[in-house]
Amino acid sequence: MITVIVPYKDAERYLGRCLQSLQDQDGDFEFIIVNDRSEDSGPEIAAAYAEEDERFVLLNNERGPGVSGARNTGLDHAAGEWITFIDSDDEMLPGAYKTLTSVLKQEANVFQFNHIRWIAKKNRAIHKYENQRGLFTSAKLPEAWFGVWNKLFRGEFVKDIRFDERTQYGEDGLFILECLAKDDRILHADYKKRVCKHNLENKESLSHIKTGDDLLKQVHLYEEFMLRQTDPHIRIAVCNELSILWAHKRMRDAFGVKEHE
């Protein structure tokens, strides 16, 4: 069985599309839908799907508030041999079960898949990570690093790994780094797409509302992680990311600093 963990908060505009994409899936799935203290009609939308499909498991966030705590709640209750994640403003594409299970004959604890990123304002899709079949390690970390929604994790492997609840931004990157510190490999499966990312149309998404303090916290948590590591490749990978964070436009924008100031 594959467990799909979906955290949501005040996502009534998108949640129905996401849950419908899950209900349309054939296969041995468990859908864990975690309510992170929503104040809109999201819980009612989730309840309607749970009434129709017993694969839906509805939970309230039992951990710290935010996406990290909500995902950890899902992990605490996940029964699947394999676990993946999807955000409430995204959708799982048709045939996902076949795509996900097609790789399991290969030996790995973490698989990465292609995905589609939908750019609403341009009304077009970008196909991500095609033709990258191969093994990513801490010494080779391009797009493999970030995003838990484009990966499949062995349940037994991540039973003692959790998202850092001190942050709601960059938490997925830290989670992947924890995985790499435990097993230095992510196998990329260059197969059909299994998820479509829509977060660029969701202006309430954390990726749109992060602040300078969010980024500073991310920097400090990455430094903390790095100092716990003995693998030089992981240390170098984290140092590279930290340098990108400090130089990147995201940091300037978050602090309201113009490019040439």
* DSSP per-residue letters across 34-64: EE-S--SSHHHHHHHHHHH-TTEEEEE--SS
Do both 46 and 165 map to the same domain? yes
Do both 160 and 257 map to the same domain? no
Do both 200 and 158 map to the same domain? yes
Do both 105 and 172 map to the same domain? yes
The tally of domains found in the chain comes to: 2
Do both 151 and 92 map to the same domain? yes
Do both 107 and 229 map to the same domain? no
Look at residue 133 in the predicted model and tell me its pLDDT.
59
> Of 204, 227, 246, which residue is a domain's last?
204
Collapsed DSSP state (helix, strand, coil) of residue 252: helix
* 205, amino acid identity: S
What length is written for the chain? 261
Look at residue 245 in the predicted model and tell me its pLDDT.
64
Do both 118 and 221 map to the same domain? no
Look at residue 187 in the predicted model and tell me its pLDDT.
84
Contact 173, 241 (CB under 8 A): yes
Mark the ranges of the chain whose per-residue pLDDT is less than 50: 200, 205-209, 260-261
Residue 136, beta-bridge partner list: 186
Do both 61 and 158 map to the same domain? yes
Do both 97 and 127 map to the same domain? yes
Report how far residue 245's alpha carbon sits from residue 134's, in angstroms, rounded to the nearest whole number. 27
Nearest to 161 by CA among 147, 181, 185: 181
Look at residue 90 in the predicted model and tell me its pLDDT.
87
Contact 29, 1 (CB under 8 A): yes
* DSSP per-residue letters across 140-176: B-STTSS-STTEEEETTTTTT----TT-SSSHHHHHH
Listed in sequence order, the residues at least 6 apart from 138 whose beta carbon sits closer than 8 Å to its beta carbon are 180, 181, 184, 231, 233, 234, 237
Count helices and strands (H / E) in the chain.
Answer: 9, 12
Do both 47 and 153 map to the same domain? yes
Look at residue 93 in the predicted model and tell me its pLDDT.
84
CATH number for 62: 3.90.550.10
Look at residue 207 in the predicted model and tell me its pLDDT.
47
Do both 70 and 14 map to the same domain? yes
Listed in sequence order, the residues at least 6 apart from 206 whose beta carbon sits closer than 8 Å to its beta carbon are 67, 168, 169
Report how far residue 250's alpha carbon sits from residue 237's, in angstroms, rounded to the nearest whole number. 19
Look at residue 261 in the predicted model and tell me its pLDDT.
46
Look at residue 52 in the predicted model and tell me its pLDDT.
96
Do both 105 and 198 map to the same domain? yes
Range of the domain at 79: 2-204
